[in-house]
Structure 1
């Protein structure tokens, strides 16, 4: 009989759902506030760069701290820090004293707090559920985050911003406070007994190693696990092209496709619906074809959807590609997260997750800095087509990889993972 999810997982899911709603409100409110302060597109686009830099620079350090301290307390502290930051910022807006440098500072500070929250959540999932149910657990978590951020958060932010510029941030601060309280109800994890790691050292000795040595350990784990290395490089490439297209989407949709404002909003709603359905479809897909084939198929559909988007001139066909692309991209994200959790010992998951994330944040910074230039040189449509071709070539590699030796979920589950239940 399948093991049920325990209270630890459900409380974690509730905490992430509430905090994600706050994130979703800010994702819309912050650019709106920036636009009200300056109409300069470069100034506004710089927010994306600043949001990515902390993950690029501090990711490995955050991962080590998450591995060495109580993840539950870290998540509580991260939510409390975000609540205080946002509420203070709301007070600044109420005082009509907001300036662009404060927007940048707030973006950086919240990104750092979010690093801790994301890394802690990643490690707590695998410590809260049976290893064979990771896909289902992550599917629910990712779907809740998607719905609250993109489906609910966006319109709520628009309504609140219409009431007062400070209103979205007041609501966001309150939501982070609620998330911190909910996290208190997650049962505390049991302390692990000292054990030898892959290099024969005891945990206690490893914990006393210099911080730089502990940060390098995340890189060594990825290098020692070929599949993790492949996932890291593939995800960085995929994110680069997806983020470039996201940054240029409004220009492409309005200029090349001629979509209306309603159709443009519908694109992202359809993508969110596709993502949620893709998350529901993932667990049975993994059981049927295995992890590697799931990843390969997700890349094939993502690349094909982006290519169709880059070649079409029909707004409604473009909207349809958002559904299929949203589903496949979501499946990829959940599949790789579950695989990383399954094959990485739980006490090292923070630094592996953060090290992987630093590469993705690097891809985001490069995408933010080069997307506009590329569109000026070769045109927006060409950027979409080239990106789609790059993703399709990547999917061919994954199909070859899957054909050489596709592993089933049961085979992958035999990889080391010392998750300790907290449920």
Structure 2
């Protein structure tokens, strides 16, 4: 991780993302608290989270838009837009203005999809292939750290001062991110036109996910795990209430324990990718969630602390493995669409899982549901582990690609067989010969 942070260009991007992620971390929970305060309704507060997730249906379209423009200026524009769309929140006064919060939440969800799609392309543009896992690991470490303090800080600011300060600070974070990324060297070329027929261009990312064996296995395995992982959002409250016999506020303590595990996983993730490869790392992350869920089926505080630490470690391993896999195994011209399509495919089951968990916990014993989560996620992890040979440790594909019809956004070129070095890249001698 220290190696990638020595690069001046990545340090600028890293600083921008810290500002952007800090703004995000203080904002999301506080919006739901704001709605609860104005309406007194738990369901209306929960609808705020749905408003953020709902725009995921437009993810493939946003990926197509991202692939039409250079990454650095688009990232700057996306953060400026995120800051601007928060402005209407300053007009919220009473219950009749709740629709403004929902609208801003939905627009922010759309913005976050866009930023995620362009970020993957920007990281790949700035960072050598052998340091991609380090870059993703550094960002995940910061994200996990901010989850420890950001949501509580945002809720505290809202309770102490009101929404206006919260909105102002979040806008400042996005503006700072835009300003810092604007300092990056403008050395990108204009991307090729991503297909003349826009419906075909929009679906190119999903088609690439289906065609590429490693990406296909990643999404099938992780998607299977996501179908039950969301149950835990509701089950953890039943665990604290019925199992530990503690107040609901104790959930915050367990979330903090999980955040500590997330920091550990973020620090270790790059080393795990180098050791196991991208699919192996994703498999480890999903599999770790299995025994953690099984342990929570047996309500003992010491066991719960161990389980939440393990669940915390699993999240950054999963994210770093998946992001690095997408970056290394996707053509640059398709990276925005592939990133957006992968988020849509994964977030859909997660959203269904969260809703289903809220219903099922009222019908079945929470311990039985935790056991179900543990069995399914372990099976999903083992499925991913069996495919780890598709992404051997290194910096990308080590096989010579077969001739194929170019995907939308790619320029056709002849396939040349050249010797590869240990990172799966064309060796220096071959490059000199080609020159």
* 1:294 corresponds to 2:295: no
Q: Equivalent of 2:394, from 403, 409, 413?
A: 409
Equivalent position of 2:173 in the other structure: 175
Mapped contact 1:16–1:145 kept (Cα < 8 A): no
The equivalent of 2:131 in structure 1 is 133
| Contact 1:290–1:406 under 8 Å retained in 2 | yes
Asked if the contact 1:92/1:98 (under 8 Å) is kept, the reply is no
Shift of 1:103: 2.0
Structure 1 alignment gaps of length 5 or more: 194-202
Larger RCO (CA under 8 A, 6+ residues apart): 1
1:342 matched to which residue of 2?
328
Q: Is the 8 A contact 2:206 2:338 kept in 1?
A: yes
Q: In the aligned structure 1, how far is the partner of 2:392 from the partner of 2:114?
A: 32
**1:209 is aligned to 2:159:** no
Report if aligned partners of 1:25, 1:157 keep a CA contact under 8 Å in 2.
yes
| Equivalent residues of 1:52, 1:364 under 8 A apart | no
Q: 1:336 to 1:208 in 2, by over 3 A?
A: closer
Match of 1:17 in 2: 18
How far the C-alpha of 1:392 sits from its partner, in A, is 0.9
CA contact under 8 A between 2:195 and 2:201: conserved in structure 1? no
User: Which residue, out of 161, 164, 184, partners 1:164?
Assistant: 161
Determine if contact 2:213/2:390 at 8 Å carries over to the other structure.
no
CA 1:16–1:414 in structure 2 vs 1: closer, same or farther (change >3 Å)? farther
What TM-score does the superposition give when structure 2 sets the normalisation length? 0.85
The CA RMSD over aligned residues, in Å, is: 2.5
1:415 to partner: Cα distance: 7.6
Instruction: State the 1:411 CA deviation.
Output: 6.0
* CA distance in structure 1 between the partners assigned to 2:97 and 2:241 by the alignment: 30
* Matching residue of 2:319: 333
Question: 1:351 Cα shift?
Answer: 0.2
Q: Quick one: distance in 2 between partners of 1:4 and 1:248?
A: 39
Distance 1:262 1:370, change over 3 A: closer
Instruction: State the Cα distance separating 1:18 from its structure 2 match.
Output: 0.5
Q: Post-superposition shift, 1:19? A: 1.0
Do 1:29 and 1:157's aligned partners in 2 also have CA atoms closer than 8 Å? Answer: yes
1:266 matched to 2:253 = yes
Tell me the secondary structure at the aligned position of residue 231 of structure 2.
helix
Note if 1:218 corresponds to 2:205. Answer: yes
- Corresponding position of 2:340: 354
Matched, 1:230 2:217: yes
Q: Distance in 1 between matches of 2:159 and 2:144?
A: 23
CA distance in 2, matches of 1:92, 1:3: 42
Q: Which residue of 2 aligns with 1:79?
A: 79
Which residue is equivalent to 1:154?
Answer: 151
Aligned to 1:363: 349
Give the superposition deviation at 1:92: 1.3
Deviation at 1:119, TM superposition (A): 0.9
1:62 aligned partner:
62
Q: Contact (CA 8 Å) 2:287, 2:381: kept in 1 or not? A: yes
Structure 2 residue matching 1:313: 3-state secondary structure: coil
Q: Do 2:208 and 2:338's aligned partners in 1 also have CA atoms closer than 8 Å?
A: yes
C-alpha displacement at 1:376, in angstroms?
2.3
Task: Quote the offset at 1:277 in angstroms.
Answer: 1.2
Q: CA deviation at 1:352?
A: 0.4
**SS of the residue aligned with 1:409?**
coil
Matches within 5 A, 1:104-123: 104-123=102-121
Question: CA offsets per residue over residues 110-152 of structure 1, 9 Å max, x none?
Answer: 111111111111111111111011111100011112222x123
Match 1:381 to one of 360, 363, 367: 367
User: Which secondary structure state, in structure 1, belongs to the residue aligned with residue 203 of structure 2?
Assistant: helix
